[in-house]
Amino acid sequence: MTKTFAFDTLDAPLAAMPTQAPAAPVHPESLLALPPGEARQSLLTVHSILEARLPAGPLSIYEAGGGSTSYLPLGVLHRAHVTVVDIDEDQVRNNNYAQQAILGDLQTYRFAPGSFDLIICYNVIEHVPDVESVLSGFCTALKRDGLLLIGAPNPDSLSGVITKYSPHWFHVWFYRHIRGEKKAGLPGEAPFPTHFHPLVTPANLEAFAGRHGLQVIYRKKYESPRYPEMRRRKPMLAALIDIAAGMVNAILPGRVDVRHGDYHVILRKLEQ
């Protein structure tokens, strides 16, 4: 089902009225909220790649799904026109840094070909039933040499398997009682229902990219920030999970670490 109206039918049209970007150089959550560890370090690497690879001057950026959190480096954010599309009205209303906020379905909402220098899809594709449709739209909307940043949970990790095969109420319980997020599950608040389409798996995602003229310029599986967070909040539970993860790693072939619960991928469009 598609929700593609952009608030222009309401008394206060959010899509027609640009949201106000922060006047002061304050980052909208994201990097500062991450505990020290592999996730933070990988995001710093992502930032350095974006700053080096994106063209100088004004940028056009599409954030596929976006509330109050941005994963852009400040130097990029402050010279960009950011367009956010999200199907959740509360998420759209929570966004305070995009110049255009659109209530729409990523699976069907389309932009003109070659519209964006950068597309970001961060902690979103795992929630989408038809990821292939979303990625096809991204391929069309990117300019030549444009970049696509995807951050997502790894379905093949320990946390990915638990998330995939446990009910949504358990995810809400975990966020509230283990992570301490009392608003978890309320309208506009994580966690959101998870689908884990096959293309969310890194190997499948990269194969899709190769078939559609996208080049992988960065890939990194890393320990989910939930682990250092849990070690701080629930050390005994974290110790048990670390032991269990170590035992699983010992019996899996290759250099696999099931604690690598998330990944970053940056893709470059080779042709228009």
State residue 102's pLDDT score: 94
In order of 124, 130, 170, 182, 199, the CA distances from 213 in angstroms are 22, 20, 39, 43, 16
pLDDT confidence tier of residue 272, bands split at 50, 70 and 90: low
Q: pLDDT tens, 81-117?
A: 999 999 988 888 888 889 999 999 999 999 999 999 9
> What is the rounded distance in angstroms from the CA atom of residue 76 to the CA atom of residue 99?
14
185 against 114, higher pLDDT? 114
Burial class (CB in 10 A: 0-12, 13-18, 19+), 242: middle
> What is the rounded distance in angstroms from the CA atom of residue 160 to the CA atom of residue 140?
29
> What is the rounded distance in angstroms from the CA atom of residue 149 to the CA atom of residue 47?
10
181 against 80, higher pLDDT? 80
Mean pLDDT for 10-22 is: 37
Q: pLDDT tens, 117-151?
A: 999 999 999 999 999 999 999 999 999 999 999 99
> What is the rounded distance in angstroms from the CA atom of residue 185 to the CA atom of residue 30?
20
Q: Are 102 and 85 in contact (CB under 8 A)?
A: yes
pTM (2 d.p.): 0.81
State residue 152's pLDDT score: 94
State residue 88's pLDDT score: 87
Give the residue among 205, 192, 112, 191 at the shortest CA–CA distance from 154: 205
State residue 31's pLDDT score: 57
Q: Running DSSP on this structure, what letter comes out for residue 6?
A: -
> What is the rounded distance in angstroms from the CA atom of residue 182 to the CA atom of residue 177?
8
Most confident of 29-33, 95-99, 157-161, 179-183: 95-99
State residue 20's pLDDT score: 44
Q: pLDDT tens, 38-59?
A: 888 899 999 999 999 999 999 9
C-alpha radius of gyration, the chain, whole number? 18
Mean pLDDT for 165-186 is: 82
Q: pLDDT tens, 195-227?
A: 889 999 999 999 999 999 999 999 999 988 777
State residue 68's pLDDT score: 72
